[in-house]
Structure 1
Amino acid sequence: MGSRKVLIVDDSKAVIDALTVAFEDAGFEVATAADGEEVFRKMASVEPDAVLLDVYMPRLNGADVCRLLKAHPHWRKTHLVLMSSRIGEGERDVYRRLGADEVLRKPFDAAAAVAAVMAAAPGA
């Protein structure tokens, strides 16, 4: 079995740094992106098992990225975890309809993000 790969997408360096450490400690190969547009440049080269995606980002928001990834034939099965500090139950349902496999409300413990990815995508 190859290395498990995760793509972490957030415009906050602190969030990226904390998640990177947690996922590397769990044995994941980590790639990062700072905005929604960068996701698409990284997907082909990284081919992640999972993507942790902030909802509110510059240029292309996480909801749009989620919708576009789930519509793409090659990436639709990639496990997507959306993250935001502004998530209520209504938004959670909207993001799941767009294709999010999991929705995490910030702040959360980085270990919770790793557990969410590993539980929902055990091969990841």
Structure 2
Amino acid sequence: MEQQILAMDVRQLEKLNVLQDADSPNLVADMARGYLDRTPQRFQRMRELLAAGKADPLASEAHGLATSSGMFGMMRVRQHCKALENLARGPSLDVDGAEAILAQMEQAYAEARPLLMAQLGIQE
């Protein structure tokens, strides 16, 4: 049976909290704002790379987003990023498969984004 992946894993955020101190009490929230601001642009970049058939840069972009998504506890987004990375590193780029994964990734992001914002007290 396949394990259910959490949309948001707050334990990842707790690990980041060690970076904060009296001089930077909002460090994690500030870092998360950057992630949230850049992620839609990264989705667009991946769509452009996919349309151009550029598998290696697509794999690299998916890998980078997987890393930052995992850091902020966006585990379903991370899972889809890893799937897209693996697909893009395959022998030939399955465009339809990649588009489906990217759509799932964007949906997972849309579901987890408000959870991350609420967890860190980030306002729109």
TM range (shorter): under 0.3
- Name the structure with the higher strand share: 1
Ranked by relative contact order (alpha carbons within 8 Å, sequence separation 6 or more), the top structure is 2
TM-score, L = length of structure 2: 0.27
TM-score, L = length of structure 1: 0.27
